[in-house]
C-alpha cells in the first residue's frame, strides 16, 4: 500500500472503535482517544467493551501495535495527520442532534493544532455541521490554512460493523479541497484499489481485488444529507412493510409472501422488508428525528418522516394487543420474553422494541422471564430483577411453565428452537412471534397456537392437551 497515514480517532464507541481497528487493519497507524479512563484501561488490557463480530480478533491482532488507546487528546492530535471525530450526538428534546460533545472536542483540537490537519466528521451530524466546526476553530484562533473539514459518514450495521467497514457498499467523502481529498483517498486506498483484498489475512466479504470498494466524492453538505437520507429511507421500508402487514392480516393474506413478491422487483430489493416490531437502536430513531428537524429548520414540512415515526411507534402497540387478545387478561400471567437487544448479533438495547414491549407487560401486571444471548447485562440496568421481572440462563429455562412465549429479537438461536422441548417446558403451547421466525404450519404440526405479524393466526385444535401433543410431535 501507499505510505500509511497517522490517524487519531476521538471516541471509542461503536463507530470510533470499529473505525480505529479497521484503519489499523488497513495498515495505518491509529491512536484512539477517549475521556473514559476505565474504558481506555479495559482496551489496554485486551478487553472488548461492545459485542461486535470480528472486533475481539482485530483488537488482539492490532491492539498495542497499529492501534493504541489513550486519554490524551492534545498529544494525539499533534501526532496525527487526520483526526476523525466519532463522539456521541444524542437526540435532544426537539429531535435535533445534541452537538455539545462535538463542539467540546473541536475546542480541544483547536488548542492542539500546530500545523495543517484534516478534521473528519465521522459522527452522525446535521447538514452544515462542517461550517460550525470551521467557525469554532476560527474562534479559537486557528488559521484557515491550518485545517480542512471533511464529512465521512459511516454506514455500519451493528453486529456486522467490521465487515461493513472493510467491505462497504460505498465510501462517501464530503470534501472541499484537493489537499484534503488526496489524504482521504490515501486513507481508503487499500479498499478502493483492492490491495487489502489481495492479502492472505484479509477479512473475507463482498469486495475483492476485482471488485474493490467504491468511493464517492461530494460536498460536505451532500455527504451529511446522504447519511440521514439513507437511514430515513431504510426506516421507511420497515414502516411501509409493517403498514402493509397490518392490512394483510385483515384479509387473511401472508405478509411473508407479499414481501417476497415486492422484494423480487430489482428496483426495490428484499432487504428491510421484514414485518415485525419496527426499528430501534441508536441510529434509525435518532436519524429520522434529526432529519425531520433539519427540514423544519429550512422551513420545509417533511411529513413523510413523521408518518414513518408514527407507524413505527404504533407497531409495538399492534404486537402488545396481539399478546393481550391471545391471553385475554395479563395480570398474573407468566410470559417468556426471548430477546432484549433491538436486533440480533448485538448487545445494544437502545430504543429496543423488546424493552418497550416488556415494560408494557409489567405495567399490565404480567410476570416476565427474559433471555437474550448477549444483552441481559445491559437490560438489567433498565429492567432491574424483581419478583415480576426475572432473567434466565437459556431460552428453555425462560419458557418453563410460561403461559406464552414471546419472540422479540430475531436471534438465530431462536429460529432454531427445539420445538418439542419447548412444548414440554411451557404451561400452554402458545408462541406470539414478533419477528416471524417460523412458518405457521410448522408450529401447528408441533402443537402450538402461533400468532405472528401480518399472517393469519394458527390456533391448535387440541389446546387442552399440550403435553400429549408435544409427545406425539416428537
Catalytic residue numbers read: 283
Dist CA 285 CA 135 (whole Å): 29
Query: Helix or strand or coil: residue 266?
Result: coil
User: In sequence order, which residues have a C-beta less than 8 Å from that of residue 291 and are 6 or more positions away?
Assistant: 228, 229, 231, 232, 302, 305
Q: How far is CA 60 from the centre of its chain?
A: 24
Helix (H) or strand (E) holding 470: helix 466-473
DSSP codes, 17-85: HHHHHHHHHTT-EEEEE-S-HHHHHHHHTT---S--TTHHHHHHHHBTTTEEEES-HHHHHHT-SEEEE
**Cα-Cα-Cα-Cα dihedral sign, residues 109, 215, 190, 13:** positive
**Cα-Cα-Cα-Cα dihedral sign, residues 66, 71, 77, 78:** negative
**Cα-Cα-Cα-Cα dihedral sign, residues 384, 389, 393, 395:** negative
Q: What are phi and psi of 19, to 5 degrees?
A: -60, -45
The angle formed by the CA atoms of residues 277, 86 and 78, to the nearest 5 degrees, is 175
Query: Helix or strand or coil: residue 173?
Result: strand
User: In sequence order, which residues have a C-beta less than 8 Å from that of residue 168 and are 6 or more positions away?
Assistant: 155, 191, 207, 213, 214
Is the CB of residue 209 less than 8 Å from the CB of residue 173?
Answer: no
Phi-psi region of 67 (alpha: psi -120 to 50; beta: other; left: phi over 0): beta
Burial-class residue 39 by CB neighbours within 10 Å (0-12, 13-18, 19+). Answer: middle
Angle between helix 220-250 and helix 255-263 axes, rounded to 10 deg: 140
Burial-class residue 454 by CB neighbours within 10 Å (0-12, 13-18, 19+). Answer: buried
Is the CB of residue 103 less than 8 Å from the CB of residue 138?
Answer: no
Q: How far is CA 391 from the centre of its chain?
A: 23
**Mind spelling out the 3-state secondary structure of 104-138?**
HHHHHHHHHCCCCEEEEECCCCCCCHHHHHHHHHH
Amino acid at each position: 500500500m501507499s505510505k500509511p497515514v497517522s490517524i487519531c480517532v476521538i471516541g471509542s464507541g461503536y463507530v470510533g472503535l470499529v473505525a480505529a481497528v479497521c484503519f489499523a487493519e488497513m495498515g495505518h497507524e491509529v491512536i484512539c482517544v477517549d475521556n473514559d479512563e476505565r474504558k481506555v484501561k479495559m482496551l489496554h488490557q485486551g478487553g472488548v467493551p461492545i459485542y461486535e463480530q470480528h472486533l475481539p480478533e482485530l483488537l488482539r491482532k492490532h491492539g498495542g501495535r497499529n492501534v493504541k488507546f489513550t486519554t490524551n487528546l492534545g498529544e494525539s492530535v499533534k501526532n496525527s495527520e487526520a483526526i476523525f471525530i466519532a463522539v456521541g450526538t444524542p437526540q435532544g428534546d426537539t429531535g435535533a442532534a445534541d452537538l455539545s460533545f462535538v463542539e467540546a472536542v473541536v475546542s480541544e483540537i483547536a488548542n492542539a493544532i500546530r500545523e495543517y490537519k484534516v478534521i473528519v466528521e465521522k459522527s452522525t451530524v446535521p447538514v452544515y455541521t462542517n461550517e460550525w466546526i470551521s467557525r469554532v476553530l476560527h474562534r479559537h484562533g486557528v488559521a484557515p490554512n491550518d485545517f480542512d473539514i471533511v464529512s465521512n459518514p459511516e454506514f455500519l450495521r451493528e453486529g456486522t460493523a467490521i465487515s461493513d467497514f472493510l467491505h462497504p457498499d460505498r465510501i462517501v467523502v464530503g470534501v472541499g479541497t484537493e489537499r484534503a481529498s488526496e489524504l482521504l483517498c490515501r486513507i481508503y486506498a487499500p479498499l478502493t484499489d483492492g490491495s487489502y483484498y489481495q492479502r492472505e489475512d484479509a477479512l473475507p466479504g463482498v469486495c475483492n481485488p476485482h471488485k474493490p470498494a467504491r468511493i464517492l466524492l461530494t460536498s460536505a453538505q451532500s455527504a451529511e444529507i446522504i447519511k440521514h437520507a439513507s437511514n430515513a429511507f431504510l426506516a421507511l421500508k420497515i414502516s411501509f412493510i409493517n403498514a402493509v402487514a397490518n392490512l394483510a392480516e385483515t384479509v387473511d393474506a401472508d405478509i411473508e409472501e407479499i414481501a417476497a413478491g415486492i422484494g423480487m422487483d430489482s428496483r426495490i430489493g428484499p432487504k428491510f422488508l421484514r414485518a415485525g416490531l419496527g426499528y430501534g437502536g441508536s441510529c434509525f430513531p435518532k436519524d429520522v428525528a434529526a432529519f425531520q428537524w433539519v427540514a423544519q429548520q429550512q422551513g420545509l414540512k417533511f411529513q413523510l418522516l413523521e408518518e414513518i415515526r408514527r407507524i413505527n411507534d404504533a407497531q409495538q402497540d399492534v404486537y402488545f394487543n396481539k399478546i393481550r387478545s391471545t391471553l385475554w387478561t395479563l395480570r398474573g400471567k407468566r410470559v417468556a420474553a426471548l430477546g432484549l437487544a433491538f436486533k440480533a448479533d448485538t448487545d445494544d438495547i437502545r430504543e429496543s422494541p423488546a424493552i418497550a414491549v416488556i415494560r408494557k407487560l409489567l405495567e399490565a401486571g404480567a410476570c416476565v422471564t427474559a433471555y437474550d444471548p448477549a444483552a441481559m447485562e445491559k437490560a438489567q440496568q433498565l429492567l432491574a430483577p424483581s419478583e415480576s421481572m426475572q432473567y434466565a440462563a437459556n431460552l428453555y429455562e425462560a419458557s418453563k411453565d410460561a403461559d406464552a412465549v414471546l419472540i422479540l429479537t430475531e436471534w438465530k438461536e431462536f429460529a432454531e428452537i427445539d420445538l418439542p422441548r419447548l412444548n414440554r417446558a411451557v404451561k400452554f403451547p402458545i408462541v406470539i412471534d414478533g419477528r416471524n421466525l417460523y412458518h405457521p404450519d410448522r408450529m401447528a404440526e408441533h402443537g402450538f397456537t402461533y400468532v405472528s405479524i401480518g399472517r393469519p393466526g394458527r390456533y391448535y385444535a387440541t389446546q387442552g392437551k399440550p403435553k400429549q401433543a408435544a409427545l406425539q410431535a416428537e
